[in-house]
Amino acid sequence: MSNSTKYVFVTGGVTSSLGKGIISASLAKLLQARGYSTTIQKLDPYINVDPGTLNPYEHGECFVTDDGAETDLDLGHYERFLNVPTSQANNVTTGRIYQSVIEKERRGEFLGKTVQVIPHITNEIKERIQILGNKGDYDIVITEIGGTVGDIESLPYVEAVRQMKWEFDEDCIVVHLTLVPYLAAAGELKTKPTQHSVKQLLELGVQPDILCCRTEHELDLNLRRKIAKFCNVNMNAVIESRDAESIYDVPLLMQEEELDKVVLEKLSLPTKSTPNLNTWKEFLTNLKNPESEVTIGLVGKYVELKDSYKSISESLIHAGVTNKTKVNVRWIHSEKVTKDNIEKELEGLDGILVAPGFGSRGISGKIEAVRFARVNRVPFLGICLGMQCAVIEYARNVLGLTEAHTTEIVDSCKDPVIDIMAAQKEISEMGGTMRLGAYECQLTPGSNVSEAYNTDSISERHRHRYEFNNEYLEQYESNGMKATGKNPETGLVEVVEVEDHPWFVGAQFHPEYKSTVAEPHPLFSGFINAVLKNR
C-alpha cells in the first residue's frame, strides 16, 4: 500500500529525558529547510485525557495551541523550531484514545464485537497518527512516542507502529533514541544499554531504522560499527547526539551527522537542496555573542521545576537575541517572598516577570513582587495570574480598596476586581473547560503594547477562568492604570498598563506560547528593550 505522506516514528529507550522532543523538532527543522512540509505529533501514554488537569510538577508546563488544545510542552518546542502552529491533532494521550473507543462502543459502532486493545485501541492510535497525514498538508509526519520502550503503558503504541510499518512498508521508518553512557571507572562509552533497548523493540516486532545515540563523548568509528552490527542498522544510520550548549544547536549537530539525509534515503524521498538554515545560524550567532546582559526575576510558585515555565524562559532567550542581550533568569519562589524580605529577594533585578498560575499558594508573594516593581519603577511583565495580581495590587495600594482580591481565592471578597467570567459560572467539569486558545485583541494606539507589537490588532492564546471586572474599569483608568488591550467582541480587558512607569504591562493572555526562533515575540522583545533602556 502506498501513501503520499511519509511517517517517521521517534521512540526512546534506556531512560526518559533523553530529549526526544528536541531531536524530533530538530529533524523536522532540517526536513522543512529542505523543502518538505513537516509536522510533529506527540503520543503520550498516560491516562489523563490531556495535560490540562496535571500539576506542572508532573510534566512541566501545559502548552496551549491556537485551537485551544491543552498539550504537552514538547509542542512548544515543535512550534518554536518550525514556526508553524500545531493543533488538537498534534497531541494524543491514552486517555483520549480510550475515551474515543469507549464512546464508539456506547454508540454501538463495534456491532457486538468484544472491544480489545488489539485491534480497537491500536486502530484508534493508527487513525490518530494518520489524521495529520490524511489532511494532505504534510509530506512528512513525525510522531514522537512518549515514555520509554518497554513500559507497559507504551505497548499499544509500539504495536501500532509495528502494524503501520508492515502496512505502509517504505513509507514508515523508526528513529530510536538511546543512551550510550560513559563509565568513568572504565574510561569507556558503553553500548550494552543501547543493544538491550533495541532488543526490547525487536521483541515487540519493531526493527529501528536509525539510532540516535545520546552521549557525552564522541562516538568513534569502532563504536558506531559495533552498534550497527549488534542492532542491525547501517553504519550511517548510527547518529551521534552529543550534549549541546543550547537546544538550538541541535539541528546543526544533526545536520553534521546527516540525520535528515539518512531519513530521506530510508523514505525513498529525494534529498532536494541543502537546507537553508541561514536565519537559524544568525539566531545562534546572536545568541552566543551578546553585547549586553540583563537579569530578569521570574516570580512563580513552581520554580523548583523550570520546565513549568518552559515557554516563558525560551521566549526570554528569543527576546534576548532580538536585543543582542543575554537574559539571565533569577528564579524567585513566590511562596518565599514576603513584605520583610522583598528588598533582598528582588534586589538588583533589571526586570520583573510575574508568572501565570492557579490557586492561593504563593499569591501574596506575587502581589508583593508587583508592588516592588511598580513602586521602584522596575520594568514589569505580568502574565495571566501575574496580570491579575497587578490588578489586585493596584486596587489595594493605589485605589485604596484594601480588601480587593480575585474570587478565585476569596469567593466573597469585598472588592472582586478579578472575577469569574460569566461563561464560566455554570461549568463544573475541570478538564478542557477554561477560556482556551486564540482570541482577537484590540490595542490602544500609543500604548506600550501597541508600540511593542507595532500594530493595534493582535491575536493571542488564553488559558484562564477569571477576568478583569469591568465594574472597576472607570476607577482604574481615572487613577493611572489603563486597559490598553480589549477583546473587540466582548470588551474583556486583556492588557493593563500603569501610565506613570517606565514599562508596566499585564497581559491576560499568554504571549509565551507564540514566540519562535524565526519570530521572537514582540511583547517579550519590548519588555527586554524597556529593561535595557531603563538601566
Q: Which residues bind ligand GLN (CB under 6 A)?
A: 356-358, 384-385, 408, 463-466
Is 160 strand, coil or helix?
helix
Q: Which is nearer to ligand GLN, 238 or 438 (CB)?
A: 438
Least distance to ligand GLN from the beta carbon of 426, Å?
Answer: 16
Least distance to ligand GLN from the beta carbon of 461, Å?
Answer: 10
Spatial distance between the Cα atoms of 529 and 27, rounded to a whole number of angstroms = 33
| Of 350, 245, 349, the residue nearest 287 (C-alpha) | 245
Q: Which is nearer to ligand GLN, 253 or 409 (CB)?
A: 409
| Of 495, 297, 479, 456, the residue nearest 379 (C-alpha) | 297
In order, the DSSP letters of 395-463 are: HHHTS--TTEEETTT-TT-SEEEEEE-GGGTT----TT-SEEEEEEEEEPTTSHHHHHHTSSEEEEEEE
Is 226 strand, coil or helix?
helix
Q: Which is nearer to ligand GLN, 121 or 495 (CB)?
A: 495
Q: Which is nearer to ligand GLN, 240 or 467 (CB)?
A: 467
Structural contact between residues 87 and 67, judged by C-beta atoms closer than 8 angstroms: yes
Spatial distance between the Cα atoms of 48 and 431, rounded to a whole number of angstroms = 9
Q: Give the three cell numbers for residue 361.
A: 499558594
**214 phi, psi to nearest 5 deg:** -75, 130
159, with CB counted inside 10 A (0-12, 13-18, 19+), is buried
Least distance to ligand GLN from the beta carbon of 384, Å?
Answer: 3
59 is catalytic: no
Which residue of the set 172, 384, 389, 441 is catalytic? Answer: 384
Q: Which is nearer to ligand GLN, 7 or 513 (CB)?
A: 513
Least distance to ligand GLN from the beta carbon of 435, Å?
Answer: 8
Q: Which is nearer to ligand GLN, 254 or 418 (CB)?
A: 418
Handedness of CA 244, 247, 253, 257 (dihedral sign): positive
216 is catalytic: no
Least distance to ligand GLN from the beta carbon of 471, Å?
Answer: 17
* 14-39: b (≥16 Cβ within 10 Å) or e: beeebbbbbbbbbbbbbbbbbebebb
Least distance to ligand GLN from the beta carbon of 368, Å?
Answer: 18
Is 142 strand, coil or helix?
strand
Q: Which is nearer to ligand GLN, 328 or 364 (CB)?
A: 364
Which residue of the set 70, 124, 494, 512 is catalytic? Answer: 512
Least distance to ligand GLN from the beta carbon of 95, Å?
Answer: 22
In order, the DSSP letters of 263-309 are: HHHHTT----SPP--HHHHHHHHHHHS-SEEEEEEEEES-TTSGGGG
Spatial distance between the Cα atoms of 356 and 398, rounded to a whole number of angstroms = 23
Spatial distance between the Cα atoms of 519 and 319, rounded to a whole number of angstroms = 9
**Structure-derived torsion over alpha carbons of residues 318, 319, 320, 323, reported in degrees to the nearest 10:** 130
Least distance to ligand GLN from the beta carbon of 424, Å?
Answer: 8
**Structure-derived torsion over alpha carbons of residues 130, 135, 140, 146, reported in degrees to the nearest 10:** -40
Run of H or E residues at 178 = strand 172-179
Spatial distance between the Cα atoms of 356 and 114, rounded to a whole number of angstroms = 45
Which residue of the set 405, 501, 510, 521 is catalytic? Answer: 510
510 is catalytic: yes
Handedness of CA 167, 213, 271, 283 (dihedral sign): positive
Least distance to ligand GLN from the beta carbon of 295, Å?
Answer: 23
Q: Which is nearer to ligand GLN, 261 or 465 (CB)?
A: 465
Q: Which is nearer to ligand GLN, 65 or 323 (CB)?
A: 65
Residues annotated as catalytic are: 384, 510, 512
